Every structure is written in structure tokens, then in C-alpha cells.
Amino acid sequence: MKFTIQRDYFITQLNDTLKAISPRTTLPVLTGIKLDAHDNRLVLTGSDSEVSIEITIPSELNHEEILTVEDKGAIVLPGRFFVDIIKKLPEDTVTIETNDNFQAKITSGQSEFNVSGIDSDQYPLLPQVSEDEAITLPVKVLKNIIKQTNFAVSTSETRPVLTGVNWMIREGILNCTATDSHRLALRKLKLEDTNIDEINVIIPGKALNELNKIIGDSEDTIDIFFASNQVLFKFGHINFISRLLEGNYPDTSRLFPESSETALSINNGDFFHAIDRASLLAREGGNNVIKLSANDNSVELSSTSPEIGTVKEDVKTSQFEGSGIKISFNSKYMMDALRAIDVDDVRIEFFGTMRPFILKPEEDENLVQLILPIRTY
């Protein structure tokens, strides 16, 4: 194998491939990046057997030559070490040449590295995902869905299904649900044209996190293909494959009661900053608990730290319905929910002192954040 490639472009693609590689893998070959040179393209593969990233580098991009392949072939090179070498090379281009003993000679200007590689035949085959059942979303919409739900997945492995986001498609509506059993995020989206009648899968939160870092803020669309135990995200020259979590996601639909006892509308920014200030003491108390008391036209927030003192904040409401309420909540959960909603006016609905309450954008039913209160009153 022998090819020459533009170094800056190569580094960007290698960094994205590296996101799938875990140093904690039990298979030594998976700590490496597989390079597969064809006539007019180079395919990079990284995998930790949970998430796999495959990037195809064409010989030309925007009418500019970025890759020249002299000899076809494949090799696996030590991931992080190889990327560090490429980053530090002196010239704009780099040439990589391999011999029959899986040694790679990396040259750029006056620099020459010789690196031991592994036979690419030892690299596991990537899972095959059928491209029958698919949905297409704008990249911006997908990034938004991840931002509005992924923060609420569980970080504890005691219930593995809760470490993922439940994607369910039914009657042309995509429902994305994440919960750690203390809070829940739900985002709904009407799909314009899809050949999927029904699907119910759990995508690992960690995978969605990595995907979010790679896709950037482009105007493009992304194709999403579902198989029995894998999901493939395909955009541009990148294939991102993730294993799905096994198990049944809890039915969360019954968590949303029909009618609220108390409902109010409040400015997101004012409310967020008031909680942020009150949480300074709540954090010192070690439990992040803030008490909320709401009546006719204002919300009072308070928190106490035995060592430091007390704090009280008043925030005006633009609308108030129902009876007054006193409730306590975790300040971090509330701030995460307000960040995810990201509109000026938020509607909060309470169903009783010890029942979960919900937050949603004032004019939009497609995003709901639910939080369990803390028993203090």
C-alpha cells in the first residue's frame, strides 16, 4: 500500500475516527485505526465493538486533489500514536507506504517514522445494517433532539436500558424519550415521509454524544437506518454505526396527567438565573435542593445552607392559573431542563406537591421536560 494525502484534511478525519476507539478494549487490534486504500479513495475505520465509525476520503474534494493512491492495500496502525505522529509532521502532505511485514513508513519533508502495524484481516468486520427501514432528518434537527433529550439519560449501569434514549416511531411520529428515573425528557417530531410503520429501539446516550460531536453544524441531511440490533447514521462520507441497547424501555406515557392543579408562565432567562444564584447555597448544602413557592403573580425560590446562610429570589410570572403551590426540586435538573427548552417563555404545570411537574415551551407541545420533586415540605 502506498498513498499521499493532504495532512490537515487527514488529521480532521483521523480525529473523528478516533472517537470510536476506546483504550479499554479487550481486543488489541481495536486500539488501532484501519486504513484501507482503494484506487481512488481511502477508508478509515475505528471501532470499540459498541460504536464503529467508517470515513471515506475521496481522491478529490471541491475539485482539489487531496489523495493520490499508488498501491492499494490495508493495514491497522496504533490509533492515538499514529494520529499524534501525523499532527506533528512538518509538511502539508504525508506519504504512507507499507511492506509485507505490516511495517508502515510515514514520510513528510525530512521526517520519517517507521511504525509496526497489524494485518487488517484480523480487524473485525463491521456490522451490516440493512438500508430498508430509514428516516431522513436535517442535521440541525437531529442535533436539537440530542441536545433536548440526551442529558437526561442515566449514568448508572444498574438499569442499562436507562443509559440510552428510546426512539419510537408510530403513525409517522418520532418520540425520543430519556430518563434516569428522577427526571424525563421527551421530544416529538412529525416525520414527513418514511417507510417505517413502527419501530422501538434504545440508542446508547454515549453513542449519541459522540455522533453529536462529529456531525457539526451543517445544512445537510442525515440518513438513519435501523436494524435488529444496530443503527446506522449516514451523512456525507461518514458512516456511524452504534449497537442498540437490549431490553424493554419503561412505558412513560402514564407519567403525564391530563389536567394540572397549578400552571404558570415565566421568562426562561430570569427563572434560570434566579435558580443559578439560589443553587450557590443549595450546592453548599450538598443536596442541590431549592424550595419553590408559587402564587398569584410571582414565584419565590429559597435555599438554606446551615454553614453559610439563606437565599431568597422572587421572579414574576406572566400568567398564573389554579391554586398556590409549594414544592422542592433539584436545582441541577431544573437548570438542565430550562437549557434544553431554550425559548423565552416557559410553561410549568404542577399536579400536586409530591407528583412530578412538567416544563415545556409556551407555544410548543412537542418538547416536554418532567422532574420529580424532592420531599421537604
Q: What is the 3-state secondary structure (H, E, C) of 214-264?
A: HHCCCCCEEEEEECCCEEEEEECCEEEEEECCCCCCCCCHHHCCCCCCEEE
Report the C-alpha gap between 173 and 191 in whole angstroms. Answer: 6
Quick one: pLDDT band at residue 254, thresholds 50, 70, 90? confident
Say if residue 260's pLDDT is above 60: yes
Least confident of 100-109, 162-171, 297-306: 297-306
Residues paired with residue 316 on neighbouring β-strands, in sequence order: 298
Order of strands, sheet of 230-235, starting from the edge strand that comes earlier in the sequence:
73-78, 32-37, 41-47, 51-58, 238-243, 230-235, 221-226, 134-138
Element (H, E) at 284: helix 268-284
Which position has the grid cell 414565584?
299
Question: Which one is predicted more confidently, 266 or 286?
Answer: 266
Q: What is the pLDDT of residue 358?
A: 97
Report the C-alpha gap between 289 and 164 in whole angstroms. Answer: 26
Question: Which one is predicted more confidently, 296 or 99?
Answer: 99
Q: What is the pLDDT of residue 25?
A: 79
Q: Which amino acid is at 143?
A: K
* Average pLDDT value for residue range 337-360: 95
C-alpha closest to that of 167 among 249, 52, 255, 254? 249
CATH fold for the domain made of 134-232+241-253: DNA Polymerase III; Chain A, domain 2 (3.10.150)
Residue-level length of the chain: 377
Quick one: pLDDT band at residue 340, thresholds 50, 70, 90? very high
Say if residue 377's pLDDT is above 60: no
Least confident of 111-125, 159-173, 252-266: 252-266
Least confident of 65-74, 109-118, 145-154, 284-293: 284-293
Q: What is the pLDDT of residue 36?
A: 98
Say if residue 287's pLDDT is above 80: no
Please list, in sequence order, all residues whose beta carbon lies within 8 angstroms of the beta carbon of residue 204, skipping any fewer than 6 positions away: 50, 51, 163, 164, 242, 243, 244, 245
Quick one: pLDDT band at residue 136, thresholds 50, 70, 90? very high
Report the C-alpha gap between 44 and 238 in whole angstroms. Answer: 10
C-alpha cell at 157: 449501569
Decide whether 2-122 matches 257-371 in CATH topology: no
Residue 355's CB is within 10 A of a number of other CB atoms, namely 14
Radius of gyration of the chain (CA): 25
Domain positions in the chain: 2-122, 134-232+241-253, 257-371
Q: What is the pLDDT of residue 285?
A: 62
Least confident of 87-91, 127-131, 209-213: 127-131
Say if residue 157's pLDDT is above 70: yes
Mean pLDDT, the chain, integer: 94
Question: Which one is predicted more confidently, 376 or 115?
Answer: 115
Residues 175, 190: contact at Cβ < 8 Å? Answer: no
* CATH for 2-122 (3.40.50.1000, 3.10.20.600, 3.40.50.300, 3.10.150.10): 3.10.150.10
Residue 8's CB is within 10 A of a number of other CB atoms, namely 12
pTM score of the predicted model:
0.92
Quick one: pLDDT band at residue 216, thresholds 50, 70, 90? confident
Residues 86, 10: contact at Cβ < 8 Å? Answer: yes
Q: What is the pLDDT of residue 17?
A: 96
Say if residue 222's pLDDT is above 90: yes
* Average pLDDT value for residue range 133-151: 95
Say if residue 235's pLDDT is above 70: yes
* Average pLDDT value for residue range 50-68: 95
Say if residue 257's pLDDT is above 90: no
CA-based end-to-end distance of the chain: 71
Residues paired with residue 313 on neighbouring β-strands, in sequence order: 301
> φ, ψ for residue 366 (rounded to 5)?
-85, -5
| CATH code for residues 257-371 | 3.70.10.10
Report the C-alpha gap between 350 and 321 in whole angstroms. Answer: 10
Q: What is the pLDDT of residue 70?
A: 97
Quick one: pLDDT band at residue 326, thresholds 50, 70, 90? very high
Quick one: pLDDT band at residue 195, thresholds 50, 70, 90? confident
* Average pLDDT value for residue range 5-13: 97
Q: What is the pLDDT of residue 127?
A: 85
